[in-house]
């Protein structure tokens, strides 16, 4: 057992979990490095929450080994609990208290010093709402308070299960800034999301989970770069017929979607040259492969 500063944040080896007949995790092995922003993505029921709860020590794996900061999360021990932060659900709030009073209570439960409260409010961008009652704060502020509740004891590893679920786009982007700030402060962040654009924007590495197994693992850039999926060239449908598009050098498929002709290719340069030669490039758009395309290919 090691608690050295250099140990990885999380090491999972062949982790399995079964709920009765349901096989939730079919043997997951992965390593999360220190200070890494690590995303778990996958369809509903893929096993993400089960996996994160096993790392948190809330559930026990049936088989395999789990090490968080070099320690086993089960049985739960104070030395490890002091070093990890687990996002609470907003139902765990004290609604009649102000955001600051709520955090003061949480900090006291953790034995964190009083000055941790203002530091944490600032870290998650809640200083301005500190005196607002919990029941009156916005959805975005509520999520930030949930994250703040996991942070008063200044943990090294932070577990967040869908922290941006049910937020509007503006609040979601604001929370991204908060999460980036936490990573800049040196935290290791392990989180789940259904937003692939978000995983792409925030994560150093992403594990795509399907049916309880890791089906892809890497940085968004590497996953996208290593994909053989086609990119797309779009132009107004009245400028070129599907039949003529299919004759272009590099064209692999062509369909009309709405008022656009969408041509698929794995040779974007050749196709663009051919489109330019046929109808000119004015108004032509390109859509490169996204993490969401890869996700859908692997999980559908």
- The 3-state DSSP class for residue 106 equals helix
Nearer to ligand ATP, 49 or 98 (CB): 49
* 245 lies in the site for ligand ATP, by CB under 6 A: no
Q: Decide whether 172 or 195 has the Cβ nearer to ligand ATP.
A: 195
CA atoms within 13 A on the CB side of 123: 25
Using the minimum distance from each CB to ligand ATP, give the nearer residue, 50 or 141.
50
Residues 167-201 as b or e (16 or more Cβ within 10 Å = b): beeebbebbbebbeebbeeebbbbbbbebbebbbe
User: What is the C-alpha separation between 57 and 72, in angstroms, rounded?
Assistant: 8
Residue 6 vs 44, nearer CB to ligand ATP: 44
CA distance 154 to 81: 11
The footprint of ligand ATP on residues 198-217 (CB under 6 A) is: none
- Phi and psi for 11 in degrees, rounded to 5? -130, 120
- What's the closest the beta carbon of residue 86 comes to ligand ATP, in angstroms? 15
Considering only 2, 3, 14, 19, the residue that binds ligand ATP (CB under 6 A) is: 19
Q: Can you tell me whether residue 74 is helix, strand or coil?
A: coil
Among 42, 73, 155, 230, binds ligand ATP (CB under 6 A): 42
Cα–Cα distance measured from residue 104 to residue 116, given in angstroms and rounded to the nearest whole number? 8
Residue 46 CB, shortest distance to ligand ATP, in Å, is 4
Q: What is the DSSP letter of 71?
A: B
Nearest approach, Cβ of residue 47 and ligand ATP (Å): 4
Hey, what are 101's tokens?
């009073």
49 near ligand ATP, judged by CB under 6 A: yes
Identity of the residue, 103 or 167, whose beta carbon is nearer to ligand ATP in the bound complex: 167
Q: Print the binding letters for residues 108-147 with ligand ATP: x by CB under 6 A, - otherwise.
A: ----------------------------------------
Residue 255 CA to residue 261 CA, distance in Å, equals 6
Q: Does 48 bind ligand ATP (CB under 6 A)?
A: yes
Could you tell me which stretch among 5-13, 42-50, 104-112, 149-157 binds ligand ATP (CB under 6 A)? 42-50
Sequence-distant (≥ 6) Cβ neighbours of residue 103 within 8 angstroms: 117, 120, 121, 145, 148, 149, 152
Contact status: 15 vs ligand ATP (CB under 6 A)? no
- The minimum distance between CB 17 and ligand ATP, in angstroms, equals 8
Q: Which CB atom, from 24 or from 175, has the smaller least distance to ligand ATP?
A: 24
Stretch that binds ligand ATP, among 16-24, 125-133, 282-290, 292-300 (CB under 6 A): 16-24
What does the DSSP assignment read for 204-263? Answer: SEEEEEETTEEEEEE-HHHHHHT----EEEEEEGGGS-HHHHHTSTT--EEEEETTEEEE
| Interaction between residue 294 and ligand ATP (CB under 6 A) | no
Closer Cβ to ligand ATP, 50 or 264, answer by number: 50
Q: 37 with 179: CB under 8 angstroms? A: yes
Rule CB under 6 A: say whether 250 interacts with ligand ATP.
Answer: no
Q: Name the residues that contact ligand ATP, by CB under 6 A.
A: 19, 22, 24, 42, 44-50
């Amino acid at each position: 057992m090691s608690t050295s500063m250099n140990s990885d944040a999380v090491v999972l080896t062949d982790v399995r979990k079964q709920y009765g007949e349901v096989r939730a995790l079919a043997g997951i092995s992965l390593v999360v490095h220190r200070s890494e922003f690590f995303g778990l993505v996958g369809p509903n029921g893929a096993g993400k929450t089960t996996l994160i709860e096993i790392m948190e020590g809330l559930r026990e794996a049936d088989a395999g080994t789990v090490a968080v900061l070099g320690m086993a999360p089960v049985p739960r021990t104070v030395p490890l609990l002091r070093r990890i932060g687990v996002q609470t659900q907003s139902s765990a709030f004290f609604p009649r208290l102000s955001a600051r009073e709520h955090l003061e209570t949480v900090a006291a439960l953790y034995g964190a010093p009083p000055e941790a409260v203002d530091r944490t409010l600032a870290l998650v961008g809640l200083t301005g709402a500190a005196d607002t009652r919990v029941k009156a704060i916005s959805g975005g502020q509520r999520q930030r308070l949930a994250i703040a509740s996991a942070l008063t004891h200044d943990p090294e590893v932070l577990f967040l299960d869908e922290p941006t679920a049910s937020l509007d786009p503006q609040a979601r982007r604001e929370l991204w800034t908060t999460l980036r700030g936490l990573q800049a402060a040196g935290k290791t962040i392990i989180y789940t999301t259904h937003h692939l654009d978000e995983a792409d924007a925030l994560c150093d590495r992403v594990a795509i989970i399907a049916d309880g197994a890791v089906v892809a693992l890497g940085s968004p850039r590497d996953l996208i770069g290593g994909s053989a999926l086609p990119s797309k060239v779009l132009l107004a449908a009245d400028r070129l017929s599907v039949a003529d598009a299919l004759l272009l050098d590099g064209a692999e498929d062509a369909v009309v979607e709405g008022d656009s002709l969408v041509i698929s290719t794995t040779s974007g340069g050749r196709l663009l040259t051919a489109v330019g030669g046929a109808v000119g490039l004015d108004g032509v758009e390109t859509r490169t492969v996204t993490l969401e395309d890869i996700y859908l290919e692997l999980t559908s």
